Chains A and B, each alone.
Chain A
């Protein structure tokens, strides 16, 4: 099929022009090995192709002879060959770069520059690195870059963390695919590579740790990642991969997974090209089955939770057990009792229990037994990604119009405050873009549908509500039976639980008809007081443009201006946002200008930029950046860089418009427009909540002491954008054969977005005693509000990377990263900083593209220090770990194939990224990649 198309294309072309055909082989000048993937371009045009596995290429060119061919390949010096007629078996030998300093990056300045000139720290992987990756997916392999952490919450949904303050929902990190922000519009963070790039279509990945708002606007706060796909003009033909293997985890057992993908690209002419790609992955996710309770009852904010082993108390609330949140204290609140003894006394007063028996009951709260997480999910990890684009170059030059649609569909597990089974979600992006080397204008629309997703904890809670009162009654009966039969307290509790749980009418077993019926009802109900479904059809439109005046200025200056517009349309049908009366729309925009000037024979590069952003709820915000890069020596082997950066992020869509009754409190977002909207579960408005409430801690103190003086009325400030200022200092250079990259930074944060907890009198006011009266009569409601912390937070760190090649074949890499943060807990005692990043990390890699013949291998070993994870689900210390991955590969040029055998976490020691998340086991895979 492809051949026919090619022939057709040639035929079409030859009708119009005379054609020159060129073919040949590209090899390494040093070793003589063929080089696959070398880009060949006819200079002055966009026509080109790349070499296959054998280093062979062929090209039919309509240009008149003579013309020049440009051979470019990452890590090699570019070579230009003049062609004056048809050529067969053209032999090109590329000379390897002395240094990696010649690698070209784009994102640091929005314009191509060699990495030595980059004003900021930047990490890059290209096509060659994909081949060497020891991970089952290139995205997971990003963890081997220095300064990059990967928080692993699922087999398919892993979250990148640079410079800390991240959870699985890293709202401070931006991920762009060909310029499109791939974050979920409702969640405001990226679902790993579930909505991303097919490895066959990946041109490069660049990651800038640190703030980048000056060029990239809001949310480019602690880091930004760019994934660029291959152009169908440059990389044509069919490529495919098939991968299968095993995931091995103690909790889940061994499961087969497979992952297949295909890409097809074709340039019909030098004016029109198409591209399509598709991947399908299916596997079994890691199980999360930690039954321990993480209790902060007796720990201060900023301390790890106390970890209580399973069933350490009758009201045990295991982190991966759902439904055990339903306790007697909650059930008895309306009847004035809070423990088993109180329940007994209540039953006695109702004549339902023989007098006196309640005295044998303990003052213990009792919780339902609940179900461990596997009761609520089949751990189906499934991912479909597709991408189709049409590319039109009306003048056959650099001006290109492209239409692109891409999407991700699948199922995974996400851990936020609770754990969510993201099931059959669909996120799509549609883009129209016009660009040339000087400018781009693009508009894209992101739509999402959460599909059949649901909150697993609330599924458990709402199942446990079923028959709860009867269950507690039977528990009491069982307890008394135990005591009267000779049991001590602990034994009586155990007997009571067995007795109460044995009634399948109140405690359906997972898989039973009743369980399935309740499960289906609850997971299709979006009201959290009765259901757990996650309804979300939010969309986001983005329009942006950029113009680079460099060419107009004869390249004496580089001057760029750009702007962007973003519009959200929140649509959760009233289940997450206060959008009960239809979608909520709001928008923000920004504009920036950047100037770059090179001096001293281009050894000194000065850069300054500033960006202005405005959101309809906030005053405008300026984000400046200034940087200097300086090549110390004429050979440019030693390069220093320093920069001052700023970043900011807007409150997320949820911070602004959430209106959700979690059962324990009502979450109310703090955008000015949200303050007068109806809230679920209360007649109060956000305006009252933010303006006329008591702090929760003071109400708790009041309840304990009865002293009204303890009450602290609070006016919660409406949430404002969070900002960061960052100073970076770096060095890149070569010492002999060792490539060195060192960076250090200091960042200061202001207005960290945080939550406060308040109690609002329903009818009275905190201004007088009527509020106190409401508290005494229980006529008050608890809320979680969104505001900014007064906390003084700063972070600093450093990284050092050393890379070299030994014996011309063996690549050795070592990196060390330091990350620390400074925070005075006393400046905001209730604020949980959540740095969530190891202080020390060491990474090591050893590999060769072709150690013997066509055999290559790579080994990665990563050590990371213990770190303290703070999040709404739990706070715990994650122990230090060493993880090793490895692969060997063998290429068979005859069939254009690469075979790889690899495994990650080969030591088999399972590790957690965070409390509540699964233990990550080992993953083994074999893969075959075919590249025409």
Chain B
């Protein structure tokens, strides 16, 4: 019977070893479940202006809305109980708006290989075709803080008059409802507020400071479109908005306002594009300096030598600009020039032309839109004016060169003083935002700090380094102010990370942030 024992022993071996199943399955770490922490993403409402709406390349279009940072966030939140996120999608990928069939906002920009060009197509989004909400994304391009609580801001009838906002008008639940009311009525479980004060300074800045700093004026109804909103007005609106959104206990997160100096709109065009190696400009330098020699003598005589204009023959020189913070000395200048021997018409003309001008310095920011007029400097309107004043055409042409002989108008330049006004207001707004967030225990995203880092060292993510360079920086859209899809994706990740920090969700740890490489830098010219 010895043999049988061996057989049984063998069967025991077989039995033991066949217990191990799937022994070669590699221990793959199970995907970490995405959790929302204390937050409830089931009904998110986002409130703000153009960034929230997903505006890119100068306008809003379907693709840009789909890549809005709130929508990107919502897609990731769907992994952690997030609900549907409905956006007021426009009609096409052309962008722009119609009102009563007339184009009131032009199509989006595309990159033609050298610069931004509007797509050759007609917008089809008719503002008066009111779409039915509610919309989770309440980002209203162009809205200033106080507009969020302004009745009638969504009234189609007011759009043509400039009393209402076309983007809100097409989505407002009724003509007199406010943006905040439409947001609040959705009873959000979670909200995002971003750059609601952005336009309170931005339109001032983008207009080259043509508006008025209304700090101290507490009545926004008296403000012009390009004015800076009083910080207390903003603070009051902010508190109303935050108070309303948190009334039912909703959690939320707020982003603050970036500094304009971080935006390529202000940093792309150099203050000193006048390069002596330029074959058109270079040879003219001696002539121009001879011309300005007389003017500079007059400035010296008037004790304002800092207004002197000299073009270097070895390095790039600053353009000539109007600085409306300078005293206008046209009369005195004219008198001195006459005293210097010029005939009265010429002296008057030059006195007016250079009475409030100086050469730009590194502290001046030229806006992106000034680039075409610097590339083709002849200001035909002014040349025509000069000719009408009896100046010979050739000389009129020479005196009507933008930034060289014809000082750049105020709207093209954000001077140091104007920047100061913007920055002061921005900082004040951001103090209010931080305070509101702290008071309500909300998350805070330091958009200002982020964009400063973007502009100084760049921001690295997923193998890309985003910078504030126009086009090649990879973060900003062609309008130079708003982000592109990749930039918005980055911003969405930053918001998600801040939510992680505030509410204990785990988007970052669960690898549930987006890969910014999945989002384009530019949109195709043929996208419609």
Contacts and interface: CB of A to CB of B under 8 A. Distances in A.
Interface of A: 299, 303-304, 339, 341, 356-357, 359-360, 362-364, 483-491, 632, 638, 640, 729, 731, 733, 740, 742, 744, 798, 800, 816, 818, 820, 839-840, 866-868, 877
A818 B13 contact: yes
Contacts of B2: 632
B522 A484 contact: yes
Contacts of B25: 877
A486 B525 contact: yes
Contacts of A484: 111, 113, 471, 521-522
A304 B24 contact: yes
Contacts of A820: 17
B527 interface: yes
Contact of B26 (A304, A731, A840): A304
Nearest to B67: A488
A359 B517 contact: no
What are the 3 tightest A-B residue pairs by CB atom distance, in nearest-first order? Answer: A486-B524, A489-B517, A356-B472
A299 to B, nearest CB: 7
Given A640-B3, A818-B13, A357 B472 contact: yes
Interface string B495-528: 0000000000000000000010111111111010
Contacts of A364: 463
A740 B7 CA distance: 10
A840 B522 contact: no
A798 B10 contact: yes
A742 B6 contact: yes
A640 B18 CA distance: 26
A486 B520 contact: yes
A360 B521 contact: yes
B474 interface: yes
Which of B17, B18, B113, B473 has the most C-beta atoms of chain A within 10 angstroms of its own C-beta? B17
Nearest to B486: A488
Given A303-B26, A488-B518, A488-B520, A359 B472 contact: yes
Contacts of A339: 463
A486 B518 contact: no
Given A303-B26, A640-B3, A733-B3, A818 B522 contact: no
B431 interface: no
Given A363-B464, A486-B527, A866-B24, A818 B517 contact: no
Which of A483, A729, A816, A866 has the most C-beta atoms of chain B within 10 angstroms of its own C-beta? A483
Contact of A359 (B3, B7, B473): B473
A364 B13 CA distance: 51
A303 B111 CA distance: 49
Contacts of B517: 362, 488-490
Given A484-B522, A488-B517, A798-B14, 6 more contacts: A359-B467, A362-B463, A483-B520, A490-B518, A733-B3, A742-B10
Which of A304, A341, A359 has the most C-beta atoms of chain B within 10 angstroms of its own C-beta? A359
A820 B19 CA distance: 14
Interface in B1-60: 2-3, 6-7, 10, 13-14, 17-18, 23-26
Contact of B24 (A490, A731, A867): A867
Interface residues of B, number: 38
Interface string B447-487: 00000000000000011110101011110000000000110
A840 B334 CA distance: 106
A360 B474 contact: yes
B524 A731 contact: no
A867 B24 CA distance: 7
Contacts of B522: 483-486
Nearest to B520: A488
A798 to B, nearest CB: 6
A485 B525 contact: yes
A484 B2 CA distance: 83
Nearest to A493: B517
29 contacts: A304-B26, A356-B469, A357-B472, A359-B465, A360-B472, A360-B521, A362-B462, A362-B463, A362-B464, A363-B463, A483-B521, A484-B111, A485-B522, A485-B524, A485-B525, A486-B520, A486-B527, A487-B524, A488-B518, A488-B519, A489-B518, A490-B518, A733-B3, A742-B6, A742-B7, A800-B10, A816-B14, A866-B24, A877-B24
B230 to A, nearest CB: 40
A485 B521 CA distance: 9
B515 to A, nearest CB: 8
Contacts of B473: 356, 359
Contacts of B521: 360, 483-484
Nearest to B14: A818
A492 to B, nearest CB: 8
Contacts of B23: 839
A394 to B, nearest CB: 49
B471 to A, nearest CB: 8
A800 B522 CA distance: 69
A816 B14 CA distance: 9
Given A742-B10, A798-B10, A818-B14, A731 B3 contact: yes
B188 to A, nearest CB: 31
Nearest to B458: A359
Contacts of B471: 356, 484
B113 to A, nearest CB: 7
Given A486-B520, A489-B517, A742-B6, A359 B24 contact: no
Nearest to A488: B520
A740 B525 CA distance: 79
B455 to A, nearest CB: 13
A913 to B, nearest CB: 15
A867 B18 CA distance: 13
A866 B13 CA distance: 18
A102 to B, nearest CB: 20
Contacts of A299: 26
Nearest to B465: A359
Contacts of A341: 463
Contacts of B472: 356-357, 359-360
A632 B24 contact: no
Nearest to A364: B463
B275 to A, nearest CB: 15
A816 B2 CA distance: 21
Nearest to B522: A486
A647 B466 CA distance: 64
A258 B156 CA distance: 84
A731 B1 CA distance: 13
Nearest to A358: B472
Contact of B474 (A359, A798, A816): A359
Contacts of A357: 472
Contacts of B474: 359-360
A729 B474 CA distance: 72
A798 B14 CA distance: 9
B3 A638 contact: yes
A840 B18 contact: yes
A640 B5 CA distance: 13
A798 B13 contact: yes
Given A744-B10, A818-B13, A868 B520 contact: no
Interface string B305-332: 0000000000000000000000000000
Nearest to A355: B472
Nearest to B475: A359
A794 to B, nearest CB: 15
A359 B113 contact: no
B115 to A, nearest CB: 12
A877 B27 CA distance: 13
A490 B464 CA distance: 13
Contacts of A740: 7
Nearest to B527: A486
Contacts of A877: 24-25
B65 to A, nearest CB: 16
A635 B71 CA distance: 87
A359 B521 CA distance: 11
Which of B7, B26, B467, B521 has the most C-beta atoms of chain A within 10 angstroms of its own C-beta? B521
A640 B3 CA distance: 8
